């Protein structure tokens, strides 16, 4: 426990990592945060509880009866809303695919010491709420507003600095994105771990923008400098690079691993013959998926696409494969309407953000 | 991918582990399986989706409309039940605390190469179903029955052997345990990852007995030899020890880590002064908790207990602590009515089963 004082008074910096070996802290984060169970990619909407979870601090214990959303500093007509007020506003239900910006971090070398996501930090839910932009307009942002900050009730330390989780969006981003003020997920009140009683969902962006446990919105005449906006969630070439903000989700796809697994390795066993392989593909900013390819040992074929259930929801795909005996590497690779294609190797980022390399699954085709 | 053939044809054995360093396979299991978020110990009933999940193979994709539970071989009056049949039977709702037998494995040295649970593989849900024993009686077990097997729809490999997940209970165990045939969790139909559409819950035993995705019950005149009964879930002194079956949950307690966390290490920061610390304690086989002690740097005081919401549900506790500046190690230790007390060090088991050592949380008390 000698680490305790150091962590809260003189942050020691991130430990070095070794490829393929994970620290106690990384494994504790993996036990606490949870990934999508890949076989649930069969469902248009991820079953509740199987959606990925990334919680920086602790789940705050909030009372929905007393919860208030405050449109505070920087507005000419500040006001606040109770949950009853918000539920009385025009309601919209929107299926949205959310992905953690750190998804795929474990594949980047050297690996940043953080939550060691493989491929599973993604999910699609039906979010119910009310459009946010008109509510901000109603509070009349002061002349010269260049940023809106969103503050959650979750508080903790990172790199020795105490702060609430907070993020911002510019007036232009707010105008372009269909940001929803959300109180239900999959037809039920938000669960504590998904932001109860109130959060935002920013469709098409990585999950860090979708602030949970939302308490306060402010209008700022200088850019927001909250820790989670400025010190994390930036693409950096190296530790000292000020970086570029992480925003829209990059094109990506995953498959339901076919056959049956080995418990420990998750490698797959398949009987020889006709095998249907299915999965999902998505991109950011509402850009549609136009192509998914399925690869067997580097030989690619086009998959059939299934229309998504919403503009911001993933696209289903499937392909029929004649599985021949032996060992194979299966891959899937998506292309979006803007021409972005998933890379075969992880794009470099010092924090392991935005790794959208192709999904690979190792299989053994044989008779058991 | 050279490992694939070997894993499915000539199981290579478990890799050695290093204290404090985890393999790619262990971390992948930690990303896939999910632990309780400790701050949800505030709730009598764990919020849906925050309950621990340990899934050996894949979640089977079952159709509740067509699902049948078969009372098959070994019964003199075999029959089967549809989900409608089962829902028409007398319904019981029971809050039950379930814990994974491997919870705490990461603290045992040398560590077994498997799911690297810290302390978080536990949860309490309200399970709704119908008592199982009368349904087995109705099928009339053949003369000489010594075991009942329960087979799930989930199939996969472990140690190179393909098998469905299956477990058994003896007639005596079935008579003594309040086994429930379950179709709802927390007032909602079972979620896919919790066994939809049908599972059993064996109150008071570690989670491996509560077979999910249940399809078949058989009566056997020899003891059941299914892989998950005989080859795993046994307390073993060493790898070649035939071992003793893992059954009832051992006495244990956890606390809601007080204060606020550091993101990466989960160590805690607390302001000096009065701090209420709360948590839960439980034991197996319906044995009540009679004492919980709270320790600060090895100095123990008794906590106040709160009556549990059911015979098989955990007991709440809380204590008021005057937090003094500096670094501290907080612990909690439960005692049950049978006189069992949590040990300060992990009990030895080759597979890391049944580790019920006290929960330890490192804190720094200071001003931020």
- Contact check, Cβ <8 Å, B265/A3: yes
- d(CA A92, CA A181) in angstroms, rounded, equals 10
User: Is residue A193 less than 8 Å (CB to CB) from chain B?
Assistant: yes
Q: Which of B21, B51, B263 sits opposite A23 (nearest CB)?
A: B21
For helices B24-32 and A24-32, the axis angle rounded to 10 degrees is: 20
- d(CA B225, CA B13) in angstroms, rounded, equals 21
CB A256 within 8 A of CB A38: yes
Write out residues 299-328 of B within 8 Å (CB-CB) of A: 326-328
User: Is residue A32 less than 8 Å (CB to CB) from chain B?
Assistant: yes
Reported as a single tens digit per residue, the pLDDT across B251-305 is: 999 999 999 999 999 999 999 999 999 999 999 999 999 999 999 999 999 999 9
Reported as a single tens digit per residue, the pLDDT across A227-276 is: 999 999 999 999 899 999 999 999 999 999 999 999 999 999 999 999 99
CA angle B164, B166, B170 (to 5 degrees): 160
Confidence bin at B42 (pLDDT 50/70/90): very high
- d(CA A149, CA A180) in angstroms, rounded, equals 15
Select from B305, B169, B178, B291 the least CA-distant residue to B233.
B169
User: Is residue B260 less than 8 Å (CB to CB) from chain A?
Assistant: yes
Q: Which of A9, A55, A264 sits opposite B37 (nearest CB)?
A: A55
User: Is residue A244 less than 8 Å (CB to CB) from chain B?
Assistant: no
Confidence bin at A11 (pLDDT 50/70/90): confident
User: Is residue B288 less than 8 Å (CB to CB) from chain A?
Assistant: no
Query: Would the pLDDT of A368 be above 90?
Result: no
Reported as a single tens digit per residue, the pLDDT across A270-311 is: 999 999 999 999 999 999 999 999 999 999 999 999 999 999
Would you state the pLDDT for residue A13?
85
Write out residues 39-98 of A within 8 Å (CB-CB) of B: 39-40, 42-43, 47-51, 53, 55-59, 61
Would you state the pLDDT for residue A10?
87
**Residue A139, min C-alpha distance to chain B (Å):** 32
Rg (CA), chain B: 21
Reported as a single tens digit per residue, the pLDDT across B167-217 is: 999 999 999 999 999 999 999 999 999 999 999 999 999 999 999 999 999
- DSSP states of B267-300 as a string? -EEE-SEEEEEEEEEE-STTPPEEEEEEEETTEE
Query: Would the pLDDT of B368 be above 80?
Result: no
User: Is residue B8 less than 8 Å (CB to CB) from chain A?
Assistant: yes
Query: What's the number of CA atoms in the CB half-sphere (13 Å) around residue B130?
Result: 14
Which of helix, strand or coil describes residue A196? coil
Reported as a single tens digit per residue, the pLDDT across B90-132 is: 999 999 999 999 999 999 999 999 999 999 999 999 999 999 9
User: Is residue B105 less than 8 Å (CB to CB) from chain A?
Assistant: no
**Residue B207, min C-alpha distance to chain A (Å):** 17
Strands A122-131 and A180-185: antiparallel
- Residues of chain B neighbouring A37 (CB-CB closer than 8 A): 32, 55, 58-59, 193
Residues 6+ apart with CB under 8 A from B240: none
- Residues of chain A neighbouring B2 (CB-CB closer than 8 A): 327
Query: Would the pLDDT of A1 be above 70?
Result: no
Would you state the pLDDT for residue A367?
82
- d(CA B48, CA A264) in angstroms, rounded, equals 26
- Contact check, Cβ <8 Å, B264/A106: no
Query: Would the pLDDT of B10 be above 90?
Result: no
Rg (CA), chain A: 21
Select from A211, A111, A362 the least CA-distant residue to B5.
A362
Query: Would the pLDDT of A329 be above 70?
Result: yes
**Which domains, ranges and CATH numbers included, belong to chain A?**
3-245 (3.90.420.10), 252-365 (2.60.40.650)
Sign of CA dihedral A268, A274, A280, A281: positive
Confidence bin at B2 (pLDDT 50/70/90): confident
**Averaged confidence pLDDT in chain B:** 97
Would you state the pLDDT for residue A278?
98
CB-CB neighbours of B288 under 10 Å:
15
Reported as a single tens digit per residue, the pLDDT across A76-111 is: 999 999 999 999 999 999 999 999 999 999 999 999
- Residues of chain B neighbouring A3 (CB-CB closer than 8 A): 265, 267, 362
Reported as a single tens digit per residue, the pLDDT across A146-160 is: 999 999 999 999 999
Query: Would the pLDDT of A214 be above 80?
Result: yes
Return the number of CB contacts < 8 Å for A and B: 243
- Residues of chain A neighbouring B28 (CB-CB closer than 8 A): 118, 266
CB B2 within 8 A of CB A363: no
**Residue A140, min C-alpha distance to chain B (Å):** 35
The residue of A10, A41, A58 whose CB has the most chain B CBs within 10 angstroms, and thus the best one to mutate to test that interface, is A58
- Residues of chain A neighbouring B16 (CB-CB closer than 8 A): none
- DSSP states of A228-282 as a string? HHHTSSEE-SSTT---EE--BPPPEEEEPPPSEEBTTT--EEE-SEEEEEEEEEE
| Separation of CA A221 from chain center | 29
- Contact check, Cβ <8 Å, B260/A42: no
User: Distance between terminal CA atoms of chain A?
Assistant: 49
User: Is residue A286 less than 8 Å (CB to CB) from chain B?
Assistant: no
Phi, psi of A4 (to 5 degrees): -60, -55
**Residue A161, min C-alpha distance to chain B (Å):** 9
Query: Would the pLDDT of B13 be above 90?
Result: no
Query: Would the pLDDT of B161 be above 60?
Result: yes
Would you state the pLDDT for residue A3?
86
- d(CA A125, CA A44) in angstroms, rounded, equals 9
Query: Would the pLDDT of A223 be above 70?
Result: yes
Which of helix, strand or coil describes residue B346? coil
- Residues of chain B neighbouring A106 (CB-CB closer than 8 A): 24, 27
CA angle A133, A134, A138 (to 5 degrees): 120
CB B365 within 8 A of CB B270: yes
Q: In the predicted model, what is the mean pLDDT of residues A338-358? A: 98
């Amino acid at each position: 426990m000698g680490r305790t004082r150091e962590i809260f008074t003189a942050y020691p910096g991130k430990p070095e990592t070794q490829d393929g070996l994970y620290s106690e802290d990384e494994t504790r984060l993996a036990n606490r945060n949870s990934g999508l169970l890949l076989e649930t990619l069969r469902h248009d909407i991820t079953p509740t509880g199987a959606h990925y979870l990334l919680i920086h601090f602790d789940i705050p214990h909030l009372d929905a009866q007393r919860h208030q959303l405050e449109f505070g500093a920087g507005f000419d007509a500040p006001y606040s809303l109770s949950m009853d007020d918000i539920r009385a506003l025009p309601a919209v239900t929107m299926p949205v695919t959310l992905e953690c910006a750190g998804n795929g971090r474990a594949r980047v070398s050297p690996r940043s010491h953080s939550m060691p996501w493989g491929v599973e930090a993604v999910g699609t839910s039906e979010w119910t709420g009310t459009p946010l932009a008109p509510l901000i307009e109603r509070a009349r942002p002061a002349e010269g507003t260049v940023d809106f900050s969103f503050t959650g009730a979750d508080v903790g330390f990172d790199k020795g600095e105490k702060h609430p989780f907070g993020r911002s969006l510019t007036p232009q981003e707010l105008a372009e994105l269909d940001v929803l003020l959300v109180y239900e997920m999959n037809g039920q009140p938000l669960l504590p771990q998904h932001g109860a009683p109130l959060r935002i969902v920013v469709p098409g962006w990585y999950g860090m923008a979708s602030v949970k446990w939302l308490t306060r919105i402010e209008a700022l005449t200088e850019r927001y400098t909250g820790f989670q906006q400025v010190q994390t969630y930036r693409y950096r070439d190296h530790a000292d690079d000020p970086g570029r903000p992480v925003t829209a989700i990059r094109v990506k796809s995953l498959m339901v691993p076919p056959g049956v697994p080995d418990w420990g390795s998750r490698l797959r066993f398949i009987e020889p013959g006709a095998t249907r392989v299915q999965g999902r593909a998505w991109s950011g900013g509402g850009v549609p998926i136009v192509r998914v390819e399925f690869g067997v040992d580097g030989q690619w074929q086009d998959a059939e696409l299934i229309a998504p259930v919403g503009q911001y929801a993933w696209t289903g795909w499937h392909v029929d494969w004649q599985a021949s005996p032996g060992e194979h590497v299966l891959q899937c690779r998506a292309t979006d309407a803007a021409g972005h294609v998933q890379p075969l190797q992880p794009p470099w980022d010092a924090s392991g953000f935005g790794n959208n390399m192709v999904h690979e699954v190792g299989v053994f085709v044989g008779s058991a």
